[in-house]
Amino acid sequence: MTTTDSPDWTAMEADAGAIIARYPRPRSALLPLLHLVQSVEGYVSTDGTEFCARLLGITTAEVRAVATFYTMYRRAPAGEHLVGVCTNTLCAIMGGDAVLAALREYLRPGEDGTTDDGAITLESVECNAACDYAPVVTVNWEFFDNMTVSTARRLVDDLRAGRAVFPSRGEGALCTFRQNARILAGFVPEGQAP
pLDDT at 193: 56
- Residue 11's pLDDT is 81
Residues 164 and 183 in one domain: no
With beta carbons less than 8 A apart as the criterion, state whether 120 and 80 touch. Answer: yes
Helix 46-56 to helix 9-20 angle (10° resolution) is 50
φ, ψ dihedrals at 119, nearest 5°: -80, -40
Domains in the chain, number: 2
* CATH assignment at residue 186: 1.10.10.1590
User: What is the bridge-based pairing of β-strands 81-86 and 120-125?
Assistant: parallel
For residue 153, what is the domain's CATH number?
Answer: 3.40.30.10
Residue 20 shares a structural domain with residue 33: yes
Query: Containing domain of residue 66, as a range?
Result: 1-78+176-194
Please give the backbone phi and psi of residue 81, each rounded to the nearest 5 degrees, phi first: -130, 135
Let me know whether 30 and 88 are in one domain: no
Burial environment of residue 51 by CB neighbours within 10 A (0 to 12, 13 to 18, 19 or more): buried
CB 68 within 8 A of CB 86: no
Whether 36 and 97 map to the same domain: the answer is: no
Same domain, 25 and 105: no
CA dihedral 5, 11, 17, 22 (to 10 degrees): -70
Kindly state whether residues 60 and 110 are assigned to the same domain. Answer: no
Q: How far apart are CA 184 and CA 137, in angstroms?
A: 19
Q: Which amino acid is at 156?
A: V
Q: Residue 177 and residue 171: Cα distance in Å, rounded?
A: 17
Instruction: Tell me, yes or no, whether 143 and 94 share the same domain.
Output: yes
- Show pLDDT as tens, one digit a residue, over the chain (194 residues): 444 467 888 889 999 999 999 999 999 999 999 999 999 999 999 999 999 999 999 999 999 999 999 989 999 999 999 999 999 999 999 999 999 999 999 999 988 899 999 999 999 998 888 889 999 999 999 999 999 999 999 999 999 999 999 999 888 889 999 999 999 999 987 656 55
* 117 in the same domain as 183: no
* Dist CA 86 CA 144 (whole Å): 11
DSSP state of 114: B
**Residues 184 and 165 placed together within one structural domain of the fold:** no
Q: Where are the alpha helices (DSSP H) in the chain?
A: 9-20, 30-41, 46-56, 60-69, 89-93, 96-107, 149-161, 177-184
On whether both 16 and 47 belong to a single domain, the answer is yes
* 106 and 142 both lie in a single domain: yes
| β-strands 81-86, 137-139 pairing | antiparallel
- Do 99 and 24 have their domain in common? no
